[in-house]
Structure 1
Amino acid sequence: MPQRQLYTSVALEQAARPLLLLVQHLTGLNTTFITRIDWKALTQQVVLVEGQLSVPVQEGAVVAWSDSMCRLLFDAKLEQSDAVPELFPGSAGVALGMQSFFALPVLSEGKTIGTLCGASNNLVVIKDHTLISLKLIADAIAYQMALDQQMQLQQKKVKVAEKTIDKLYQQAQQMENLAHTDELTGLDNRRAFQTKFEQYQLQSQTQGTALALMMIDIDEFKQLNDQHGHETGDQALQHLANVLAAVARQSDIACRLGGDEFVLAAADTDAQGLLHLAQRVQHEFKQQMQQSGLASSLSIGIASSVESALELLLQRADQALYKAKELGRNRVEIAG
């Protein structure tokens, strides 16, 4: 069986529904209900109904205030009528089969926030002393509705605050990513590499595992920029970044240090293990450049903690890279 849609809080329903039953008992009307008025939108919504089979008022139904039976009654300076078809021909009440109808404003701090209503398809006259009792019930409902509105307002504020916090968190995450990511290539930048590499060094020291890194440089990069323009140079940098991102393991650090200088660090790997990876990087970079109609190559220097002290790895890899350049470029050199 589908769950009934609630148009008000559980707390208000638990407090008000017995009062609607009491109104039925006091008046003899078939149907009793509570509405909420939105004065900004000039609409009226039915929030709770008891006995809707006789007069089919639907919970959740929304009408324009201009079409409201409550407005018609209030404009006529009445609190009840046992002649709805005669007094209000063509009204929504007549369409619903109402013969008798009453409506009392539900007031909070002097403002009408809703109505307490009753209707019947039979002729029912409500006596004055009963109307007094109904007004007391309307006051009790007003208190509950005001609390309900405050709760809903607080819930909206909480939701807005949560959305604001989520947005600020996302912005902070974006700023964090920007601070540690190279904008052109999407790889880690120098700052991110330094932070991660220090963790790798500590891990290598404490666990006694090897640590290796390769320094990578695009050969004749300045000439490539001068001959073909900076857009082509940027494309070459992006090609290299794509290759590094594709070949790197999840635990590796691929980074653009700056300019055309890149580095890839790998934990639990020695120089020979990184040599095969470096040769693959060279091959795939050449292929990507050829597909772009350009010829370019890489020089790579490799150092590992097996041959060099941890704190000298970057320096030793850079020296090996310089040696590869001196020996004609387009080659891989391992630091001795």
Structure 2
Amino acid sequence: MDEVLEQLATAVESDDLEALVRPFLSILERVSGLESTYMTRIDTDRGIQDILFARNSGDLTVAEGLTVPWGDTLCKRALEDDVTWATDVPTRWGDSAAAGELGLVTYVNEPVTIGDDRVYGTCAARARRGCRKRPTRAA
């Protein structure tokens, strides 16, 4: 864990988005126990969401560079429903084809804002299985 914290401390001094995000994804995976963590970019004008950076450590793989229709994403549903944590994805958002195809059960969504408080994307985690413990928001 010291290595990850050192990477994060170094990344904070960087202007490179990737250098900032990758250590955070590693920490999120270790803390939550979720098998896939990633950061996206939302483009509501074009109706898409891009997976910018991803970390996959289990059977579930979310691919970097993947572009998905915004209307079918769990991110959109979670933002609209003001949900950051769900362990009942098939029941709560059973209409999401992507979630069904991936067999998602647990989903964590935390909006990332840049500049004028506009949601840039999400730093999220998804897993077929449950987590070690529910992440808490920083005060």
Q: Give the % identical residues.
A: 24
Q: How far 1:124 moved relative to its partner?
A: 2.7
1:93 matched to 2:99 = yes
Task: Determine the structure 1 residue equivalent to 2:4.
Answer: none
Q: How far 1:30 moved relative to its partner?
A: 0.9
Q: How far 1:32 moved relative to its partner?
A: 0.3
Query: Could you state the TM-score of these two structures normalised by the residue count of structure 1?
Result: 0.34
1:114 matched to 2:101 = no
Task: Determine the structure 2 residue equivalent to 1:124.
Answer: 131
Distance 2:21 2:68 in 1: 21
Distance 1:27 1:131 in 2: 10
Task: Determine the structure 2 residue equivalent to 1:28.
Answer: 33
Preserved contact between residue 37 and residue 44 of structure 1 (Cα < 8 Å): yes
Q: CA RMSD in A?
A: 2.0
1:12 matched to 2:17 = yes
Offset from partner CA, 1:214-263 (integer Å, 9 cap, x none) = xxxxxxxxxxxxxxxxxxxxxxxxxxxxxxxxxxxxxxxxxxxxxxxxxx
Distance 1:74 1:58 in 2: 22
Distance 2:93 2:50 in 1: 20
1:62 matched to 2:67 = yes
Distance 1:104 1:71 in 2: 11
Distance 1:47 1:65 in 2: 14
Distance 1:117 1:94 in 2: 17
1:73 matched to 2:53 = no
The correspondence of residues 143-158 of structure 1 with structure 2, limited to 5 A, is none
**Partner SS for 2:63:** coil
Distance 1:59 1:21 in 2: 15
The correspondence of residues 247-326 of structure 1 with structure 2, limited to 5 A, is none
**Partner SS for 2:25:** helix
Q: How far 1:90 moved relative to its partner?
A: 3.8
Q: Which has the higher contact order (CA 8 A, sep 6+)?
A: 2
- The runs of at least 4 aligned residues of structure 1 exceeding 6 Å deviation read none
The amino acid across from 1:54 in the alignment is D
Q: Which runs of 5+ in 1 are unaligned?
A: 1-9, 137-336
The amino acid across from 2:99 in the alignment is G
Q: How far 1:53 moved relative to its partner?
A: 4.4
**Partner SS for 1:132:** coil
Distance 1:52 1:77 in 2: 27
Preserved contact between residue 31 and residue 118 of structure 1 (Cα < 8 Å): yes
Task: Determine the structure 1 residue equivalent to 2:109.
Answer: 103
Decide which structure has the larger Cα Rg and report it.
1
Distance 2:18 2:103 in 1: 26
From 48, 57, 76, the counterpart of 1:43: 48
Query: Could you state the TM-score of these two structures normalised by the residue count of structure 2?
Result: 0.79
Q: How far 1:26 moved relative to its partner?
A: 1.3
Offset from partner CA, 1:277-320 (integer Å, 9 cap, x none) = xxxxxxxxxxxxxxxxxxxxxxxxxxxxxxxxxxxxxxxxxxxx
Instruction: Please state which structure has a larger fraction of its residues in strand.
Output: 2
The amino acid across from 1:113 in the alignment is Y
The amino acid across from 2:22 in the alignment is R
Distance 1:76 1:55 in 2: 25
Distance 1:119 1:59 in 2: 14
**Partner SS for 1:63:** strand
The amino acid across from 1:124 in the alignment is C
Distance 1:101 1:58 in 2: 16
Instruction: Please state which structure has a larger fraction of its residues in helix.
Output: 1
Q: How far 1:115 moved relative to its partner?
A: 0.6
